[in-house]
A and B are shown apart, each in its own frame.
Chain A
Amino acid sequence: MSFTLNLDGEQVRIEIRKRHPKLVLWIDGQEHVVGPDAGSVSGTQLLDIDGRAVRFTRAGTDDRCMIRLAGRTFELTLPDASALGRGADDHGSEVRAPMPGTVVSIHKSAGNIISRGDALLTIESMKLQMALSAPRDGVVAEILRQEGERFDKDDIVARLVDKNRNG
């Protein structure tokens, strides 16, 4: 079973070949022997890789890690697993209403850069208010409802696109 990681936009395949006595990882055709990684996912430490001591600082989360070594900073991500096998859904670009209701207030507009979890709209249904949040980082492409407008369950209320890096 190989994992596909994303290193600054490039795909990398990585496999676990052995765990004891040392971790052996296979990356795009080559095996590497890795010494014990005693530290936590975030911090500065030394790691032995193929006999060389490598010093780095990293900040890891559940699905990504930013790492700084040899005077450069890299970002590694494990592509959103729920995007795999869902083909058509375009990486969660549509934000759908979970139940019928009305739009109470709109917090973002087209062009706003948003992070995963940012509130996009506040809706009301059954006398309860809730915020609809962005399922991922990106840019708001459009908000499809206005304040006071009604919507049905599963109606698309907002669309997102990826952050454009070219300018």
Chain B
Amino acid sequence: MNTRAAPFEKVLVANRGEIASRIIRTLREMGIRSVAVHHGIERKSRHVAAADEAVEIFGETPVSAHLDGPQIIAAALAQGAQAIHPGYGFLSENAAFARAVREAGLTFIGPDAETIALMGDKISARTFAEAQGVPVAPSVIATGNLKAFISAAETIGFPLLVKAAAGGGGKGMSIVRSADGLAEATRIAASEAERYFGDGRVYAERYIERPRHIEVQVLGDGLGNAIHLFERECSIQRRFQKIIEEAPAVGLRGPLREEICAAATRLAAAARYKNAGTVEFMLGADGRFYFLEMNTRLQVEHPVTEMITGLDLVRMQIEIAAGMGLTLGQSDVRPHGHAIECRICAEDPAHDFLPETGTIDYLNVPSEPYLRFENALRQGQKITADFDPMLAKLVVHGADRGQAVERAIGALRDLAILGVRTNIDYLAGILDHEAFRAGDLHTSFLAEHASTLLPALSDRHVLEAAIIAGALGIRAFRDVAFGVPQPYASMDGWRN
């Protein structure tokens, strides 16, 4: 336990749900007062209850309220907070917001606005990475001349990944396998990029078949010093959305791992990176890896890194933001064991993962020393279409990957979120899959094994049990089954 004085007195958390809860937890441990922001619809949310203070924010939609930078800064000033932690998503990678926070005299717990802008533009980020000797996939940037772009793209060779320069998080990307589809894919990508990111620039880069998504957690002090906290494997993705992440990466040979982590650290140091960030790579089966992008924020899956290193990343973020620099050296960081995270989402795997709405009628959270259940859930909570369908993260640690997998499967079995359909059993199915256990991972894993991951048609016994136990859970039926007094209950349908 750290006995230093709290670096800030009060921090506003510009986020919601599980990440807001998680950040507030560290703030509490550090003795820092927390301010939560919330839209009216989430007034009763757990992250609001957990914070010391709460401010209601307004907007046409709940999401737009959380994207209202000026309003949030005003709230921080009004509450007397000294710093703002943006979490992930929302305004966390908004350079203008970071700048505005700084200009308001507050500390932005994250990188400098300039760094955010640099890495936020995928093309400039790539260029910068290449300059630092970090391998990048062959690519070509679209200019005004569509024909020239297409012929240049063709020289890279197929398959190609067409991406939005200003995009990220897997949005605005598509795989093109032959010259036929390239023109159309480019047009669509450009128009989507314009619509979603306000920037229609696209580029195409070589797509590596069955790549593994490997990313490295880095921390920098803003003065050119950076360390890494090892890598994470996030290959289990559905439509470019990660759903299972683990640390360390499966079966990565020592030298290769060192090379990847070193490349990431080199990049962060060269960028004079401040605070926490993640450098993402694509790793091919041939052992060649390429820079994908750098995320200038805390990532959703950061807990797996925390579990294998025993460190609190949010705490380190706050310390760096407070000017305390890097409190650890690279040699102080040692990994032990293996950690796996599963993203629990309100979606129905049996109906193409359509987002689900409903109420959490019953919540049972497993509790073990080796697991973390990051959430802001409450029994009785309404799940609406207003926010992202991710409900919670289940993170488990084990002495090795095998134990982590077993513990994760067990935890998913004990976890119960009823009242809204979730992907809990689908996740358990993935963990239990032969190929996953063997570590045979790549970003098309779920698509490739889709048929074996589909919920099996239930056998008769299972259906009967579901009907019986389920019927007895319906109060109207249960009352009729059990509500008949004696001696009537023993006389069945006797008539005289």
Touching chains A and B, CB distance < 8 Å:
yes
A: residues with CB less than 8 A from B are: 3, 5, 7, 12, 14, 16-20, 23, 25, 27, 30, 32, 34, 37, 41-44, 47, 49, 52, 54, 56-78, 113, 115, 165
In the bound complex, residues from chain B placing their C-beta under 8 Å from that of A68 are: 416, 418, 424-425
Name the CB-closest residue of B to A67.
B470
Stretch in B148-156, B334-342, B357-365 touching the partner: B357-365
Q: Determine which of B358, B359, B419, B470 lies in contact with A74 in the assembled complex, contact meaning CB atoms within 8 Å.
A: B470
Per-residue A-contact encoding for B345-374, CB less than 8 Å = 1, 0 else: 000000100100111011010000000000
Q: Is B422 an interface residue (CB 8 A)?
A: yes
* Docked-complex contact A115 and B357, CB < 8 angstroms: yes
In the bound complex, residues from chain B placing their C-beta under 8 Å from that of A18 are: 492
Q: Determine which of A44, A59, A60 lies in contact with B478 in the assembled complex, contact meaning CB atoms within 8 Å.
A: A60
Identify which of A47, A71, A74, A165 gathers the most chain B CB atoms within 10 Å of its CB: A71
* Docked-complex contact A49 and B361, CB < 8 angstroms: no
CB contacts under 8 Å to A, within B417-448, are 418-419, 421-422, 424-425, 428-429
Instruction: Identify 16 residue pairs between A and B in the complex whose beta-carbon atoms are under 8 Å apart, listed by A's number.
Output: A32-B468, A41-B478, A42-B473, A49-B464, A54-B465, A56-B469, A57-B418, A59-B416, A59-B419, A61-B475, A63-B476, A66-B361, A66-B418, A71-B455, A76-B471, A78-B477
Other than A165-B351, A165-B354, give 19 A-B pairs with Cβ distance below 8 A. A3-B477, A5-B471, A7-B463, A14-B471, A20-B489, A42-B418, A54-B465, A58-B362, A58-B470, A59-B361, A61-B361, A62-B474, A66-B361, A66-B419, A67-B418, A69-B462, A70-B465, A113-B357, A113-B385
Name the CB-closest residue of A to B420.
A66
Q: Is B131 an interface residue (CB 8 A)?
A: no
**With A and B bound together, what is the CA distance between A37 and B421 in angstroms?**
25
Name the CB-closest residue of A to B409.
A71
**With A and B bound together, what is the CA distance between A132 and B238 in angstroms?**
40
* Docked-complex contact B477 and A44, CB < 8 angstroms: no
**With A and B bound together, what is the CA distance between A115 and B475 in angstroms?**
20
Q: A62-B476, A71-B429 are in contact. Are A7 and B470 (CB under 8 A)?
A: yes
* Docked-complex contact B477 and A57, CB < 8 angstroms: no
**With A and B bound together, what is the CA distance between A69 and B416 in angstroms?**
10
Stretch in B65-73, B398-406, B480-488 touching the partner: B480-488
Q: Is B63 an interface residue (CB 8 A)?
A: no
**With A and B bound together, what is the CA distance between A37 and B478 in angstroms?**
10
* Docked-complex contact A19 and B492, CB < 8 angstroms: yes
Q: A19-B492, A25-B468, A44-B364 are in contact. Are A65 and B455 (CB under 8 A)?
A: no
In this complex, how many residues of chain B approach chain A with their Cβ under 8 Å: the count is 49
In the bound complex, residues from chain A placing their C-beta under 8 Å from that of B468 are: 25, 27, 32, 34, 47, 49
In the bound complex, residues from chain B placing their C-beta under 8 Å from that of A3 are: 471, 477
Q: A19-B490, A42-B361, A59-B418 are in contact. Are A69 and B471 (CB under 8 A)?
A: no
B: residues with CB less than 8 A from A are: 351, 354, 357-359, 361-362, 364, 382, 384-385, 413, 416, 418-419, 421-422, 424-425, 428-429, 455, 458, 461-478, 480-482, 484, 486, 489-490, 492
Q: Determine which of B362, B421, B422 lies in contact with A43 in the assembled complex, contact meaning CB atoms within 8 Å.
A: B362
**With A and B bound together, what is the CA distance between A49 and B362 in angstroms?**
23
Name the CB-closest residue of B to A36.
B482
**With A and B bound together, what is the CA distance between A52 and B361 in angstroms?**
27
In the bound complex, residues from chain B placing their C-beta under 8 Å from that of A17 are: 492
* Docked-complex contact A76 and B490, CB < 8 angstroms: no
Name the CB-closest residue of A to B458.
A72
**With A and B bound together, what is the CA distance between A61 and B477 in angstroms?**
11
Q: Determine which of A41, A60, A73, A115 lies in contact with B425 in the assembled complex, contact meaning CB atoms within 8 Å.
A: A73
- Tell me the minimal C-beta distance from A41 to chain B in angstroms: 5
In the bound complex, residues from chain B placing their C-beta under 8 Å from that of A34 are: 468, 472
* Docked-complex contact A76 and B462, CB < 8 angstroms: no
In the bound complex, residues from chain A placing their C-beta under 8 Å from that of B477 are: 3, 5, 14, 78
- Tell me the minimal C-beta distance from B355 to chain A in angstroms: 10
Q: A19-B492, A43-B362, A113-B357 are in contact. Are A64 and B474 (CB under 8 A)?
A: yes
In the bound complex, residues from chain B placing their C-beta under 8 Å from that of A72 are: 425, 455, 458, 462, 466
Q: A67-B466, A115-B357, A165-B351 are in contact. Are A62 and B475 (CB under 8 A)?
A: yes
In the bound complex, residues from chain B placing their C-beta under 8 Å from that of A14 are: 467, 471, 477
* Docked-complex contact A65 and B474, CB < 8 angstroms: yes
In the bound complex, residues from chain B placing their C-beta under 8 Å from that of A59 are: 361-362, 416, 418-419, 473
Identify which of A16, A19, A73 gathers the most chain B CB atoms within 10 Å of its CB: A73
Name the CB-closest residue of B to A71.
B425
* Docked-complex contact B382 and A76, CB < 8 angstroms: no
* Docked-complex contact B429 and A65, CB < 8 angstroms: no
Identify which of A3, A18, A30, A57 gathers the most chain B CB atoms within 10 Å of its CB: A57
Q: A59-B418, A60-B478, A71-B429 are in contact. Are A19 and B484 (CB under 8 A)?
A: yes
Q: Determine which of B357, B461, B476 lies in contact with A52 in the assembled complex, contact meaning CB atoms within 8 Å.
A: B461
**With A and B bound together, what is the CA distance between A43 and B469 in angstroms?**
11
* Docked-complex contact B416 and A32, CB < 8 angstroms: no
**With A and B bound together, what is the CA distance between A27 and B481 in angstroms?**
14
Q: Determine which of A16, A60, A113 lies in contact with B473 in the assembled complex, contact meaning CB atoms within 8 Å.
A: A60
- Tell me the minimal C-beta distance from B494 to chain A in angstroms: 12
**With A and B bound together, what is the CA distance between A165 and B355 in angstroms?**
10
* Docked-complex contact A49 and B473, CB < 8 angstroms: no
* Docked-complex contact A69 and B489, CB < 8 angstroms: no
